[in-house]
């Protein structure tokens, strides 16, 4: 009986220090691998979510721009001068308006003093100027000053609606690419070609862009 007890006691032993170190190392490697996979999936999910949100914003902005530009007119002769309803930067509406008349409009820096035609894209002031059938002027401007852009100077697009009561630029979309957020070309027939480009960070936190382009035609 004593021999059997001694034998059982001899067979019962724990893990050695080396075995425990190996087990802990393998466990840490497994946990580290799972953590890396989780972080990678989280980054991918974040980027996909960001891209989806950006594309939604671009589609909404493009829809608003197209709807308004389709209601504009092509004016080539006689050559139009400075918009009559924005003389000296003041909106001068006729008829009943909820806001007081003759409100001062803060026009963009280097805004043209005259126009060869409508619609007209001015690369210097980064403005697209157009008029509706009633002669009201609309202005779409790219990259307003940093005090106007909510995200501290990153590209944004602001819009002065062709409305007799509108006298302030409203934010249309933010987060645009600072260098090429808005590109516009206008054909001799008045066809407006627009490219909107927004910026985002990929999984490696590198700056990348998403673009959306469309064409639209004024009424005539």
Closest C-alpha to 144, from 133, 160, 132 = 160
Q: Tell me, what's the pLDDT at 85?
A: 84
Helix, strand or coil, per DSSP, at residue 157: strand
- Given a cut of 70, the residues of the chain with pLDDT beneath it are 1-15, 19-20, 31-33, 35, 37-47, 93-102, 144-148, 150-154, 203
Distance, CA of 129 to CA of 149 (rounded, Å): 20
pTM of the predicted model as reported, rounded to 2 decimal places: 0.76
Distance, CA of 107 to CA of 148 (rounded, Å): 13
Closest C-alpha to 80, from 127, 159, 137, 123 = 137
Question: What's 167-203 look like in SS3?
Answer: CCCEEEEEEECCCCCEEEEECCCCCEEEEEEEEEECC
Q: Tell me, what's the pLDDT at 196?
A: 95
Q: Tell me, what's the pLDDT at 118?
A: 92
Phi then psi for residue 85, to 5 deg, are -90, 5
| 40 CB-side CA count, 13 A | 6
Q: Where are the domains of the chain?
A: 45-216
Burial group, residue 128, by CB count within 10 angstroms (0-12, 13-18, 19+): buried
Condensed to tens digits (0 to 9), the pLDDT of residues 26-82 reads 777 776 667 676 566 566 666 677 788 888 999 999 999 999 999 999 988 788 888
Q: Tell me, what's the pLDDT at 153?
A: 55
């Amino acid at each position: 009986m004593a021999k059997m007890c001694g034998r059982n006691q001899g067979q019962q032993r724990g893990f050695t220090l080396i075995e425990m170190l190996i087990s802990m190392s393998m466990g840490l490697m497994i946990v580290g691998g799972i953590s890396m996979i989780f972080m990678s999936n989280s980054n991918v999910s974040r980027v996909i979510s960001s891209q989806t949100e950006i594309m939604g914003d671009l589609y909404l902005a493009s829809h608003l721009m197209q709807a308004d530009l389709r209601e504009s007119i092509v004016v080539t002769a006689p050559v139009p001068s400075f918009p009559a309803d924005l003389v000296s930067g003041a909106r001068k509406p006729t008829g009943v308006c909820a806001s007081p008349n003759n409100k001062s409009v803060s026009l963009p820096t280097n805004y043209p003093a005259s126009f060869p035609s409508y619609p007209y894209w001015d690369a210097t002031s980064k403005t697209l100027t157009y008029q509706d059938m009633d002669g009201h002027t609309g202005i779409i401007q790219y990259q307003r000053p940093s005090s106007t852009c909510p995200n501290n100077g990153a590209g944004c697009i602001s819009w002065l609606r062709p409305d007799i009561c509108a006298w302030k630029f409203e934010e249309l979309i933010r987060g645009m690419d600072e260098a090429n957020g808005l590109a516009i070309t206008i054909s001799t027939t008045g066809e407006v070609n627009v490219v909107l480009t927004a910026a985002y960070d990929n999984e490696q936190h590198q700056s990348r862009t998403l673009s959306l382009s469309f064409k639209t035609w004024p009424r005539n």
